[in-house]
């Protein structure tokens, strides 16, 4: 078989010694799955060999007005923001501007409890464990904080266990990382993300803050009950989750990440390397201890979650709120990914099946990610 023909066949049926193929699903199959769970809108992208193979959009961005969802419709990125931000931080590591294992006590010009804006850390003044926090601990969600302080009964920030001891998902850690970037390094997070990530990957409809031009093609959200939720026009950059984006732009981003563009080989490998074993039963609630020995060797990477798939190393990142369900699942062998964005949280119910149809059987820990999943 000629080389060009073999490359084409790899995507469809596979050549000898080639990684398993990806599958671009027929539109009617996707629509059928969406109808089963009453999913209003879904963006679906497929990546193979680090290149975008397919980008499609289904359903509606606004049901009440009958507006279709397109590949260029602006959707809420939610916590996919964290992984994109981690990618930017690793660029700073490559440039010698950030040490992943340095204490926040040395990375900030003042003690962390001295900062009261934009977030107040005075609650930590009586607990010296804040000095143990490092960018690596913050990126691996092992701070010891609740996901957000407003989930605490008294809405105060506190340590529930020693930093670095175990995994416990926390957006609070990313607020501190942003503080390090802005107060420690004197950089503007939004501008750095735009320059270092969005512009470099050609993501024309992605931003860390609301842009007025987004209004012309914008997705509103839908809850488990089908309730309409208007898109939140976020005026403040948040490393934990303010990214507005499109399925077309996310396909570009994750294809670039798979290729390792803009990072050294060492930093790209470090991002998806198992940094800290995860032993909790589920991702949420975040503070419940667990002793699960996941057969997939589930672990925290830097801004992503890693696991050992039957095909080799793999990783994923989700993004969720009451009216948003996002997922990126990537297999290192063959540089294959499925990227799924939805303006309807009910889409999460069909993600395991969509991923299986696109990538084939995997060992993705859906039960840990979503809790409700039963194979």
Domain that holds residue 351: 16-98+185-370
Give the chain's domain count: 1
Averaged pLDDT, 72-101: 98
Is 43 among the domain residues?
yes
Whether cis (ω within 30° of 0) applies to the bond prior to 150 is no
Is 158 among the domain residues?
no
The predicted structure's pLDDT at residue 17: 60
Is 80 among the domain residues?
yes
The predicted structure's pLDDT at residue 5: 38
The predicted structure's pLDDT at residue 18: 77
The predicted structure's pLDDT at residue 235: 92
Q: Using one digit for the tens of pLDDT, what is the confidence trace for 229-257?
A: 999 999 999 999 999 999 999 999 999 99
d(CA 126, CA 148): 19
Is 215 among the domain residues?
yes
Averaged pLDDT, 80-92: 98
The predicted structure's pLDDT at residue 19: 81
Quickly state the pLDDT bin for 12 (edges 50, 70, 90).
very low
Average pLDDT of the residues of the chain: 95
Quickly state the pLDDT bin for 20 (edges 50, 70, 90).
confident
Averaged pLDDT, 146-167: 97
The predicted structure's pLDDT at residue 7: 44
Kindly state the percentage of the chain with pLDDT values over 70: 95
Q: What residues contact residue 13 under an 8 Å CB cut-off, 6+ apart?
A: 21
Tell me the CATH number at 322. Answer: 3.40.710.10
Q: Is the pLDDT of residue 10 over 70?
A: no
Q: For 51, list phi and psi in degrees, rounded to 5.
A: -125, 145
Is 169 among the domain residues?
no
Is 173 among the domain residues?
no
Q: Is the pLDDT of residue 331 over 80?
A: yes
Q: Bigger pLDDT: 7 or 160?
A: 160
Structure tokens at 119: 């977030």
Q: Is the pLDDT of residue 279 over 90?
A: yes
Averaged pLDDT, 38-43: 98
Averaged pLDDT, 181-199: 98
Q: What residues contact residue 17 under an 8 Å CB cut-off, 6+ apart?
A: none
Is 224 among the domain residues?
yes
The predicted structure's pLDDT at residue 6: 39
DSSP string, 240-296: TT--EE-HHHHHHHHHHHHHTTTS-HHHHHHHTS--EE---SSSSSTT-------TT
Quickly state the pLDDT bin for 16 (edges 50, 70, 90).
very low
Q: Is the pLDDT of residue 110 over 80?
A: yes
Quickly state the pLDDT bin for 14 (edges 50, 70, 90).
very low
Is 9 among the domain residues?
no
Contact (CB, 8 A) for 246 and 326? no
Q: Using one digit for the tens of pLDDT, what is the confidence trace for 122-152?
A: 999 999 999 999 999 999 999 999 999 999 9
d(CA 337, CA 352): 13
Kindly state the percentage of the chain with pLDDT values over 90: 93
In the chain the first and final C-alpha atoms are separated, in Å, by 39
Averaged pLDDT, 15-23: 75
């Amino acid at each position: 078989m000629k080389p060009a023909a073999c490359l084409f066949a790899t995507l469809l049926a596979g050549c000898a010694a080639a990684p398993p193929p990806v599958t671009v699903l027929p539109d009617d199959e996707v629509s059928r799955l969406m109808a089963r769970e009453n999913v209003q809108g879904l963006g679906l992208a497929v990546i193979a060999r680090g290149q975008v193979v397919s980008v499609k959009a289904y359903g509606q961005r606004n049901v009440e007005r009958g507006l279709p969802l397109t590949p260029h419709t602006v959707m809420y990125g939610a916590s996919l923001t964290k992984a994109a931000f981690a990618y930017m931080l690793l660029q700073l590591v490559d440039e010698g501007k950030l040490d992943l294992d340095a204490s926040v006590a040395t990375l900030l010009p003042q003690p962390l409890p001295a900062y009261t804006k934009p977030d107040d850390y005075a609650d930590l003044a009586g607990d010296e464990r804040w000095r143990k926090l490092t960018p690596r601990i913050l990126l691996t969600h092992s701070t010891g904080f609740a996901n957000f302080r407003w989930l605490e009964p008294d809405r105060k920030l506190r340590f529930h266990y020693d930093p670095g001891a175990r995994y416990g998902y926390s957006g609070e850690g990313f607020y501190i990382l942003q503080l390090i970037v802005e107060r420690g390094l004197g950089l503007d997070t939004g501008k750095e993300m735009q320059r270092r990530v969005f512009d470099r990957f050609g993501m024309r409809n992605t931003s860390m803050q609301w842009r007025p031009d987004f209004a012309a093609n914008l997705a509103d959200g839908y809850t488990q009950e089908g309730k309409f939720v208007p898109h939140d026009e976020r005026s403040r950059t948040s490393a934990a989750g303010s990214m507005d984006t499109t399925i077309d732009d996310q396909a570009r981003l994750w294809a670039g990440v798979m290729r390792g563009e803009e990072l050294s080989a060492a930093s790209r490998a470090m991002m998806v390397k198992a940094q800290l074993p995860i032993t909790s039963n589920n991702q949420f609630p975040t503070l419940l201890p667990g002793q699960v020995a996941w057969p997939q060797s589930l672990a925290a990477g830097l801004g992503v979650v890693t696991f050992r798939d039957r095909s080799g190393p793999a990783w994923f990142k989700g993004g969720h709120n009451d009216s948003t369900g996002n997922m990126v699942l990537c297999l290192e062998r063959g540089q294959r990914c499925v990227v799924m964005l939805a303006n309807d949280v009910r889409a999460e119910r069909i993600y395991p099946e969509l991923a299986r149809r696109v990538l084939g059987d995997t060992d993705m820990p859906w039960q840990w990610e979503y809790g409700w999943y039963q194979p």
